[in-house]
Structure 1
Amino acid sequence: MKLYTTLMAATAATLLPLSASAHFQLIYTPEAVVESTGELPVKLIFWHPLDNGHVMDMATPREFYMVHNGERTDLLDTLSAVDFQGAENSGAAFRGSVPIRRSGDYVLVTVPEPYHEESEDIYIQQITRVFLNRNGLPTDWPDVMGLPAEIQPLNRPYNVLAGSTFTGRVLSEGEPVAGAEIEIEYMASEPDMDSAATTEPTVTPPAGGTLVALSDANGYFTFGIPRAGWWGFAALGVGPETEHDGKELSQDAVIWIHATELE
């Protein structure tokens, strides 16, 4: 109880406003809890999903794979290039598929090529994870994968209730990162799986700008989830690589969680 109270106090004290929305790498499928077996379609998009903002062009990812029952399956060969249309522009994205065969967790991982952000003249690489589940059997969700940058969930990331909290731990090569800056974004616009389009945003951006939390001395942060849907957390620049093609690289850890209403 003491640890929980400390985490809540630390995070509440360090929520900071930035710009209206943030860059977020997506591995998107509409639902995190999968009902049936088969090939589950997913989309990989680099975008501003809170306000249906600018779409960044993706190159073919360096890695795209899943982990199920501790076994890794490469999914790069399922990817095909597609266009994605946001409100401001269209950009290069990818469509892939995930083979759902048995019960348990399916942890999807994307390691993209670094993206050159011209406005800042830096590169951004967001190593991203999303968690799916079939039949409520937990298998892989809490495992640390030893990625260069990752956020370890301390709540089942596909089983979060709106109005509850989510706690994560920021890691760099498996070690906790103190004072990491974590941008938090709600996916207010959701991609259409059958076209290049997306929905209109269901909320307006918060008046203070992008939500930001700082991890505590042991890498932990906690955030209260106010609304059902997909929530993204991006720990900025926590990976060990800091340069790409002679320019600054922000190697970020991204995790997406899915919240539902208790009915």
Structure 2
Amino acid sequence: MKQYLVTASFAALMAATPALAHYGMIIPNDPMISQEDGRSVDLTMSFSHPFELDGMMLDKPAAFSVTHEGNTTDLLGGLQDATVMEDQGYTLEYRLDRPGTYVFAMEPKPYWEPAEDAFIIHYTKTYVTAYGDDEGWDTELGLKTEVVPLTKPFGLWEHNVFQGIIKMDGEPVPYAEVEVEYYNEDLSATVPDELMITQTVKADADGVFTYAPPSSGWWGFAALNTADYTILEEGSGEEKAVELGAVIWVHFEEWTGN
């Protein structure tokens, strides 16, 4: 089994500064669409620091698709330019013709991050269920790297535990580091220290991680590993490391019981 490790220089840089975490984002207007909600879902795509609502440039992705009942459809041509968090993002309205789970996935083009001296590619997923049918909630897409949910990634109460398995090239990644961050949509959440903006957990020997969020809303899980290849950075003429992120966005509902 291949091991994907953070390079020494990259790890030292990350340890030295509490740098803002980057996240690919696919946020639907609702992760659970009922008949009363209509027949479509509205999606917003961005690349950003979600807690600070700090957007970054998202070039048109290399791929954007939806998978439903084992069939994958290319949606790249349907993306509409949009301003998201004051930077370039995209939107898409997608018609939901049948019940079941729809898995939206985005592969961005490599993003050069000078502060980390590395390129970033975040393979990002979001799951949407339609018309009360949750079939396919654990769908695995076979991306270069991805979070495969072990907990149904919708219909969760705040404080529920979410579990996923980190995979690279279809194989679990032991002890992968997972960054967790809240999408602070109205900037109402505050932290006593910057170190608490991004929570960090490690997967176990089987690549499984566990997290229970403290509040309702959208939470992003990003498992970061260094690729087994490099990319030429034109400015310096040097080959640079590539951070591969397996990202999943999960919505937790506000508890309405006693």
Same fold? TM cut 0.5: yes
Q: CA deviation at 1:32?
A: 0.6
- After superposition, residues 73-92 of structure 1 pair within 5 angstroms as 73-84=73-84, 86=85, 90-92=86-88
Any conservation in 1 of the 2:179–2:201 contact (CA below 8 Å)? yes
Q: Deviations over 1:50-71 (max 9, x none)?
A: 1222x21111111100011111
Amino acid at match of 2:221: F
Any conservation in 2 of the 1:144–1:174 contact (CA below 8 Å)? no
Q: Percent of aligned positions with the same letter in both sequences?
A: 31
When residues 28 and 170 of structure 1 are mapped into structure 2, their CA distance, relative to the original with a 3 A threshold, is: same
SS at match of 2:93: strand
When residues 206 and 162 of structure 1 are mapped into structure 2, their CA distance, relative to the original with a 3 A threshold, is: farther
Which of 203, 212, 216 aligns to 2:189? It is 203
In the TM superposition, structure 1's runs of 4+ consecutive aligned residues that sit over 4 Å from their partners are none
Any conservation in 1 of the 2:68–2:100 contact (CA below 8 Å)? yes
TM-score (norm 2): 0.84
Please, what is the CA RMSD of the aligned residues? 2.0
Which of 125, 148, 153 aligns to 2:149? It is 153
SS at match of 2:59: coil
Amino acid at match of 2:191: P
Q: CA deviation at 1:243?
A: 1.4
State the number of aligned residues: 232
Q: Deviations over 1:12-39 (max 9, x none)?
A: xxxx9x8374111111123211124434
Structure 2 residue aligned with 1:94:
90
When residues 145 and 206 of structure 1 are mapped into structure 2, their CA distance, relative to the original with a 3 A threshold, is: farther
- Correspondence 1:125 to 2:111: no
SS at match of 1:129: strand
Take 2:155 and 2:170, find their aligned partners in 1: how far apart are those partners? 24
Which of 138, 141, 154 aligns to 1:142? It is 138
Take 2:244 and 2:97, find their aligned partners in 1: how far apart are those partners? 33
Q: RCO (CA 8 Å, sep 6+): is it higher in 1 or 2? A: 1
Relative to structure 2, which stretch is displaced further, 204-213 or 169-178? 204-213
Structure 2 residue aligned with 1:61:
61
Structure 1 residue aligned with 2:202:
214
SS at match of 2:151: coil
Amino acid at match of 2:78: T
Structure 2 stretches lacking a partner, 5+ long: 1-14, 233-238
TM-score (norm 1): 0.82
- After superposition, residues 6-21 of structure 1 pair within 5 angstroms as 19=18, 21=20
Take 1:19 and 1:141, find their aligned partners in 2: how far apart are those partners? 34
Any conservation in 2 of the 1:241–1:251 contact (CA below 8 Å)? no
Amino acid at match of 1:213: V
Structure 1 stretches lacking a partner, 5+ long: 1-15, 190-199
Take 2:140 and 2:40, find their aligned partners in 1: how far apart are those partners? 26
Q: CA deviation at 1:161?
A: 1.1
When residues 186 and 250 of structure 1 are mapped into structure 2, their CA distance, relative to the original with a 3 A threshold, is: same
